[in-house]
Amino acid sequence: MKKLPTLHKKHFAKYSQVEMTQLVLPNDTNQLGNLLGGRLMEWMDIAAAIAAQRHSNRVCVTAAVDGLVFHNPIRLGEVVTLHASVNRAFGTSMEVGVKVISENQLVGDSKIANTAYLTFVAVDDHNVPVKIHPIIPQTKDEKRRFKQALIRRNSRLHRRKIVQN
């Protein structure tokens, strides 16, 4: 039987990857037939949480969302594929990047609809943050995301400090 990604000993970035596909149904859209932003954010949160938990083997809670950009509207009947991957793990937190592709199957066209960075914290049964393994980037893209994740984390924590003060 194929091993689950969580059972791999090496913590390669690729083992955290998640691909989640949804069909946009009437209940997911506004009056204009466009996918609701909130519905897409829910799907992004779920895909990213699965990636974070796949890497950490822990329950992970959403601590922050940033860089959320809606590049293009997504229409009723389109197929949405969410790609999520842990970019970098820190002490107890990790940054997960999510990219959303929308696909119009009737014309055979697809485009990037949305991107975001979500920070998850691994917690124990008492919601106390727990240490996680560092992630190992391998490909050129993974190494770029790994490097840039630290810059984003610094500005995120800077913003947190300002808000707390």
Ligand X SMILES: CC(C)(COP(=O)(O)OP(=O)(O)OC[C@H]1O[C@@H](n2cnc3c(N)ncnc32)[C@H](O)[C@@H]1OP(=O)(O)O)[C@@H](O)C(=O)NCCC(=O)NCCS
Point out which residues bind ligand X (CB under 6 A): 61-64, 90-93, 119, 121, 123, 127, 129, 156-157, 160
Residue with the shortest CB distance to ligand X? 91
Q: Give the distance from CA 57 to its chain's centroid.
A: 16
Question: Could you give the CA distance from residue 72 to residue 122 in angstroms, rounded to a whole number?
Answer: 32
Give the shortest CB-79-to-ligand X separation in angstroms.
Answer: 27
Give the shortest CB-63-to-ligand X separation in angstroms.
Answer: 4
Instruction: Identify which of residues 27 and 164 has a Cβ nearer to ligand X in the complex.
Output: 164
Give the shortest CB-156-to-ligand X separation in angstroms.
Answer: 4
Give the shortest CB-33-to-ligand X separation in angstroms.
Answer: 30
Q: Are 135 and 88 in contact (CB under 8 A)?
A: yes
DSSP string for residues in 93-119 = EEEEEEEEEEEETTTTEEEEEEEEEEE
Q: Are 97 and 87 in contact (CB under 8 A)?
A: yes
Instruction: Identify which of residues 62 and 104 has a Cβ nearer to ligand X in the complex.
Output: 62
- The angle formed by the CA atoms of residues 37, 76 and 79, to the nearest 5 degrees, is 85
Instruction: Identify which of residues 2 and 125 has a Cβ nearer to ligand X in the complex.
Output: 125
